[in-house]
Structures are given as C-alpha cells and as structure tokens.
C-alpha cells in the first residue's frame, strides 16, 4: 500500500478528480482574496513563525507555566506521553463520572490517538459533532482533510448516507434539507450527552486558558450542555502570551477557508460553576520530532489545511490516498516522523513545486523537508533495489563523459530504429500516456563541434 497505487485508483475517475480539484481550488481562491486584503500578511507570517520557533525552543518552560496557571484557574491538567495513555486518561475520567454518551468536537488529535474505537470498545457512545466529521463517521471512513473532513463526498452521497442512518427522505442532495436534518439529529445527541470532548487550537501559557475554533458552534454546544469538558491538546499548540493569540487567529481562518475569523473562537479559562474542566497535554511523538533539527519546524503547524488546498497532488489524489491521519504536504513530513517505514512513499508524493511552503501561514519549509525525508528514507527505510541500482548507475555514468556520449549516441539511434512496441510497453511508465521526446539528429556537443568550434 503506497501513495502511487492509492492515487492511481482515485485518478481513474476523471470527472470526480476534476470535481475534487475544483472544490479545493475554490477554497484556495477564497484564501487568496482574503490574504490579499491584508497588506501586512507576509510580516504576520514571519511573526507567527518566530513565535512558534520561540515557543518550541522553550517548550518545557511554557508548558509548565501553562500547567501552573491553568491549575490556578481550576482546570485539571493531565499529561499523556502517547496515544494509549491519552485514551486511558479520558476513559478513567469518564468512568469516575459514569459517562455513557459523549459529543466530540473537531479534534484531529483524538483521530491520531484512535480514541473513538477505544471508547466504543468500552461501551461509550461517541458522536462526532462537526457535520463533516459526523458524515465520515456515519460512512465509517476517516476524514480526508483536516479542516473539511468530508470534502471528498458529494451531496448526493451524503443524501444516501442520511437516508440510511437518519431516515431522511430522498432529496436529491438538497443542502438545506440535509443540513436541517443533521442539525435536528445532532441537537438530540447534544441533549443526551454526559460529557463533551474538544480539541485545542491554542493553549496560552501566560493565562492558563485555551482556545477552540469552530464554524458550527458545535464545541460550545457540547461544552455548555454537559457538566464535564475534556480538552485534548498536542503540546506544540502552546503559545506564550495572550497577545500572541491575535497573530494566529488572523492567520488561521484566512488560510483555512478564506474567512476573516472562524465563526466561533471560544476561549476557555475556568470551569463553569458545578462543571469540571480537564485538559490533557499530549506528546505522542512530538518531542521526538522536536529533537530532529531538520524537521522541527513541522511542529509550527496550526492545522489550517492550506497546504492541502494548494497542493496539486493532493487535489488530484484525494486525502485518503495518503493513508495517514494528517494527509497532504504537512502530513507527508509529519507522518514519517511517527512511522518511517509505513509512510515511506509520502515524501515522494510531491513534485516539490513549493506551493505548500509559500502558502503556509507559519512558514514551514515543507518542500525542503520533503526533500530531506527522501534522503533519509532511501537510506534507512525504503531500499527499492531497482531504484537504488538505477540511481547508482546514473551517478556512475554521469561521471564518465566518454561513455555518456556513447550512450547518448546509442540511445538516439535506438529510438529511431526500434519498433514502437519495444519502446512503449509496460516497463515504460513515462510512455503510458506520453510520448518520449523525438531524438535529435545530434547532441548539442556534436553540433557545437561542427558549427562553432571550427569558427572559434
């Protein structure tokens, strides 16, 4: 299972690829409009990048400051070194409170920890309350995008899914009807929930509070209706001061969807009266990545998804082809850090066009890290003998000019006289849908010797 084979399946349905490409490009265009209204955009990116570098270099300090201030605010702070520990902390709190049903709001971190299957195994009903996530949950799929989890689904497919699970009538993909049905369904779940679980966009060390950004208000709905709120936060989400928040809030929504700000930007500082508020600070591989100097900047990521929307490969291969919780360019530099062998094909699923790095609001040098991972993976994880041989051979041939000249001459001749089937066959991936260049009569060197050097 590798990116090329999964992508190939997706590309087969060309109409669907065009539709997927257009949907995401539309978001990219909205993003462009929004950021171009902002003359100081590039300075803001630089500032955000510097704040992130500073926070990551002093991560221990800011995390402890956060813990101190959050505890003083009445928030219960927990630490989880990995996914298993995270899930156990969540379940233990639920057990103490006799929680049977929960509503969850947008957290890629709980996806990363595979929390849903864990809780379901222990008899807890988990409802993803973000509409897109609820759709993929009903379809028994994973999100294909970190901001728009169901971007790969057409309205008519959602219609069918709702008919099956929510007993709606066929509406030919009428979005007003479907949204109303989803709202009705989710409100019932909110009313019955015993606890709410959310992700965290930013944790502020100075004030011991955290921020959750949503467009549907679903986080607030869950949190306000239940007496127990657990928030899961990746430790890299910490920012030092309250005043830094404005920088990221301005960058996040514009980069993600082209909105000036998310519809709901909720700040949680202390538990409601009579309610409990917990936060779990999760490492799960982040400190290891922090220790890899070349890849440290990948932890700047604020999960806006802009690199996915702009990536010409992502748009044409779909999020599921990456087979990783975070797909697209940023996933391709994060995932090998977690499991290099499993995700060995991801850093190669890019033409290195660099659009991801230019669009990134926190200036992660994504395409350079992709290049770097390629060097590490061929050395440590992914020895493809044929590729290794051909690369070694090329390296050898290029350093033997006379042989190289002869090979070129031979090649030009061969291409001219060989029958077509010998050139275009299953061994030649280039030639499946493309012609190879017409061989020139002579090489540049030969031409130069004939025409210029004698005049020289």
Partner 1 sequence: MANSGYERYSTKTMELFVNNFSEYDYVVAPSGSCVYHIRKHYDILKQTPEVQKIREKTLDICEFLVNHATTDALKSSFPYKVGLHQSCHGQRGLRFAKSSEVVGEPFSIVSQLLEKVEGIELIDLQRADECCGFGGTFAVAEEAVSVKMGKDRIQDHILNGAQVITGTDMSCLMHMEGIIRRRKLPLRIMHISEILNHTEQHEPSV
Number of Cβ atoms within 10 Å of the Cβ of 235: 22
d(CA 211, CA 420): 62
Residues 10 to 49 in contact with partner 1, rule: CB under 8 A: 11-12, 14, 17, 21, 25, 32, 35-36, 38-39, 41-42
Of the ranges 151-159, 216-224, 323-331, 428-436, which one interacts with partner 1 (CB under 8 A)? 428-436
Is 332 a residue that touches partner 1 (CB under 8 A)? no
Residues 296 to 315 in contact with partner 1, rule: CB under 8 A: 310, 312-313
Nearest Cα residue to 246 out of 188, 202, 186: 202
Q: How far is the CB of 345 from partner 1 (least distance, A)?
A: 8
Q: How far is the CB of 21 from partner 1 (least distance, A)?
A: 7
Q: Where are the alpha helices (DSSP H) in 339-400?
A: 355-359, 366-380, 385-397
d(CA 456, CA 224): 84
Of the ranges 187-195, 259-267, 353-361, 448-456, which one interacts with partner 1 (CB under 8 A)? 353-361
Is 194 a residue that touches partner 1 (CB under 8 A)? no
Tokens of 162: 């709702």
List C-alpha distances in Å: 90 to 197, 273, 324: 9, 21, 23
What SS3 class is residue 85?
A: helix
Q: Are 249 and 261 in contact (CB under 8 A)?
A: yes
Tokens of 139: 């379809």
Q: How far is the CB of 344 from partner 1 (least distance, A)?
A: 10
Strand ordering across the sheet containing 264-268:
238-239, 202-204, 209-214, 264-268
Of the ranges 70-78, 79-87, 330-338, 435-443, which one interacts with partner 1 (CB under 8 A)? 435-443
- Sketch the per residue contact string, 385 through 404, with partner 1: x for CB under 8 A, - otherwise: --xx--xx-xxx-xx-x---
Q: How far is the CB of 399 from partner 1 (least distance, A)?
A: 4
**Considering Cα of 166, then 167, then 173, then 179, what sign does the dihedral take?**
negative
Q: Phi-psi category of 195—alpha, beta or left, where left has phi over 0 and alpha has psi -120 to 50?
A: beta
| Closer Cβ to partner 1, 172 or 399, answer by number | 399
| Closer Cβ to partner 1, 176 or 426, answer by number | 426
**Considering Cα of 324, then 330, then 336, then 339, what sign does the dihedral take?**
negative
Select the residue interacting with partner 1 from 71, 351, 445, 450 (CB under 8 A). 351
Tokens of 20: 């997927």
Number of Cβ atoms within 10 Å of the Cβ of 178: 20
| Closer Cβ to partner 1, 204 or 349, answer by number | 349
Q: Are 328 and 319 in contact (CB under 8 A)?
A: yes
| Closer Cβ to partner 1, 205 or 311, answer by number | 311
Select the residue interacting with partner 1 from 218, 257, 262, 355 (CB under 8 A). 355
d(CA 406, CA 363): 46
| Closer Cβ to partner 1, 156 or 391, answer by number | 391
| Closer Cβ to partner 1, 8 or 409, answer by number | 8
264 beta partners: 214
Of the ranges 178-186, 216-224, 277-285, 430-438, which one interacts with partner 1 (CB under 8 A)? 430-438
Q: Please count the residues of this chain forming the interface with partner 1, following the rule CB under 8 A.
A: 58
Binding residues vs partner 1 (CB under 8 A): 3-4, 7-8, 11-12, 14, 17, 21, 25, 32, 35-36, 38-39, 41-42, 310, 312-313, 316-317, 347-355, 357-359, 371, 374-375, 377-379, 387-388, 391-392, 394-396, 398-399, 401, 429-430, 432-437
């Amino acid at each position: 299972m590798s990116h090329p084979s999964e992508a190939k399946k997706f590309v087969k349905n060309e109409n669907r690829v065009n539709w997927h490409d257009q949907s995401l490009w539309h978001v990219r265009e909205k993003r462009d409009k929004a950021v171009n209204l902002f003359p100081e955009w590039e300075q803001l990116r630089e500032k955000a990048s510097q704040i992130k570098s500073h926070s990551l270099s002093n991560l221990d300090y800011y995390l402890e400051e956060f813990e101190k201030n959050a505890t003083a605010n009445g928030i219960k702070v927990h630490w989880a070194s990995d996914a298993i520990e995270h899930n156990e902390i969540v379940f233990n709190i639920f057990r103490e409170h006799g929680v049977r049903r929960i509503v969850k709001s947008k957290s890629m971190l709980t996806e990363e920890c595979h929390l849903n299957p864990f809780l379901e195994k222990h008899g807890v009903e988990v409802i993803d309350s973000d509409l897109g996530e609820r759709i993929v949950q009903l379809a028994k799929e994973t999100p294909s995008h970190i901001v728009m989890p169901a971007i790969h689904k057409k309205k008519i497919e959602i219609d069918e899914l709702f008919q099956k699970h929510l007993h709606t009538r066929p509406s030919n993909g009428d979005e007003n009807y479907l949204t109303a049905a989803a709202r009705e369904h989710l409100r019932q779940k909110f009313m019955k929930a015993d606890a709410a679980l959310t992700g965290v966009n930013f944790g502020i060390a100075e004030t011991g509070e955290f921020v959750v950004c949503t467009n549907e208000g679903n986080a607030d709905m869950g949190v306000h209706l239940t007496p127990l709120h657990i928030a899961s936060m990746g430790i890299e989400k910490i920012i030092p001061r309250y005043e830094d928040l404005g920088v990221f809030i301005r960058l996040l929504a514009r980069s993600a969807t082209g909105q000036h700000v998310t519809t709901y930007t909720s700040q949680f500082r202390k538990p409601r009266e009579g309610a409990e508020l917990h936060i779990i600070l999760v490492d799960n591989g982040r400190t290891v990545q922090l220790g890899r100097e070349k890849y440290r900047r990948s932890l700047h990521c604020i999960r806006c998804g802009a690199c996915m929307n702009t990536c010409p490969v992502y748009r044409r291969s779909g999020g599921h082809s990456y087979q990783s919780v975070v797909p697209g360019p940023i996933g391709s530099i994060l995932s090998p850090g977690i499991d290099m062998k499993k995700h060995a094909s991801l850093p190669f699923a890019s033409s290195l066009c660099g659009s991801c790095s230019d669009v990134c609001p926190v200036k992660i040098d994504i395409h350079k890290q992709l290049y770097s991972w390629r060097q590490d993976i061929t050395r440590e994880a992914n020895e493809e003998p044929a590729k290794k041989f051909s690369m070694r051979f090329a390296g050898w041939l290029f350093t033997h000019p006379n042989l190289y000249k002869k090979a070129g001459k031979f090649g030009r001749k061969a291409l001219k006289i060989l029958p077509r089937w010998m050139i275009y066959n299953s061994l030649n991936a280039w030639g499946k849908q493309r012609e190879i260049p017409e061989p020139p009569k002579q090489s540049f060197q030969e031409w130069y010797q004939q025409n210029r050097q004698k005049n020289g």
